[in-house]
Amino acid sequence: MKLEVNQVGKRFGNRTVLGEINLSVRAHEFVCILGHSGCGKSTLLNMVAGYLLPDRGAITVDGQLVKGPSKARGMVFQDHALFPWLTILDNIAFGPSVQKKPKAAAREIAMQYLKLVGLEQAAASYPAELSGGMKQRVGIARALASQPDILLMDEPFGALDVLTRETMRVELQKICSQLKPTVLFVTHSISEAVYLADRVVVMKHGEIAGIFEVDIKQPRTSHSAGFGEMMSRIECVLMDDAQLELVAKVGT
């Protein structure tokens, strides 16, 4: 399932949020979109999801124009957005149920994905009874249960504490190595992007400033050969010219 973003631009009022974005994402590829707050990365993700439409250009999935939301593109938000009145199992079964699966089949599918994220023991619990990390694992399971062609993730670990965030990165990497979905993942963390991605797309001021192939063998750690070097290369692109000049002066 190939995603194509062709000459896409977006404005909100008088403010240009995205200039002219061109990006291809291959089937089964994990692509991280990395950038500072306000660079347009979440806007781009929301347009791929179909929640926003571009002012110009086109977004296609296998040649089909994205005109609105679709079950073919599953979304995981920073806020897990679980239904508080449903059990964990029924939260995950919601997508298959909407797809007209019989109730028993939808719950069976839900349990498969609940086991995948290691939370089958929480099937009868409610969201309020779970920790932040557990809720996000349920959010990922819910998105996967609808069996989307593309999984879209908007800073899904951004609200978690450092240790839980590290754990979730490891869990997501395991899930992706097993299922091999096509993933578009938004983050502002360089280390997170290098840890997870096949490619890192760096955005600045509504434009793509650089694309990096991460050819470090999975599973990776921060101690993997080339990890630190890749982070440094990306950081140099993320820095503004003024920051680079300051770094140069400090180094002299």
For the chain, the domains span 1-72+152-157+178-252
Instruction: Select from 3.90.420.10, 1.10.3720.10, 3.40.50.300, 1.10.1240.10 the CATH code of 1-72+152-157+178-252.
Output: 3.40.50.300
Query: Residue 66, CB half-sphere, CA atoms under 13 Å: how many?
Result: 30
DSSP character at residue 128: G
Count Cβ atoms below 10 Å from residue 97 Cβ, excluding itself: 19
What is the chain's pLDDT, residue by residue, as a tens digit (252 residues)?
Answer: 789 999 999 999 999 999 999 999 999 999 999 999 889 999 999 999 999 999 999 999 999 999 999 888 999 988 778 899 999 999 999 989 888 888 889 999 999 999 998 899 999 999 999 998 899 899 999 999 988 989 999 998 888 888 888 888 998 998 999 889 999 999 999 999 999 999 999 999 999 999 999 999 998 999 999 999 999 999 999 987 545 444 444 554
Burial class (CB in 10 A: 0-12, 13-18, 19+), 225: exposed
pTM of the model: 0.90
